[in-house]
Structure 1
Amino acid sequence: MLRIKEILKEKKIKQSEIADAMGITQVGFNKMINGNPTAENLIKISKILDVDVRELFIPTKEDESETIYVQTENGLKPIGEIKKGSI
């Protein structure tokens, strides 16, 4: 299932704004995202929303991890990882 509506809500962007940027009506945009959008349209939407196209399907940012380090006499030593956005 596409996350376009969720991303629009997060970014406080209206469907009509994306539709205008794509040169289509809001009704056309709504039918597209509720139907079967082409890869070309998904790429356009991702560029307009300034997200990786994968974000339209799954939240990739939450899946990314960041390494945690501690300072030792010999420099930094990795001690584990934490999921971004989990703090």
Structure 2
Amino acid sequence: MTRLSTDMKALLPLIDTNVTVYLKDLSYIHGLLFSVDPVTGHVALIEALARGESESESESELCLRKIRILFTQEIDRIAPSQ
């Protein structure tokens, strides 16, 4: 199993595109695995992938892209852009 962090262009300042993720800081809610930096409040999305031999890098990227889009849409629903 491989853990990959995603970078995302987000709508709230507490979301950053460059976050170091520590396994002990991971949280899981509504099907999303994420990490919140306790000092800065930065959020990083994590996707746990079971890498099979038939799975290519492009399929992994597609999966991460979908999660990034869904997460950004959820932020927009909670705090619409000005």
Given the two structures, how large is their TM-score scaled by the length of structure 2?
A: 0.28
Structure possessing the higher radius of gyration over alpha carbons: 1
Given the two structures, how large is their TM-score scaled by the length of structure 1?
A: 0.27
| Higher relative strand content | 2
| Higher relative helix content | 1
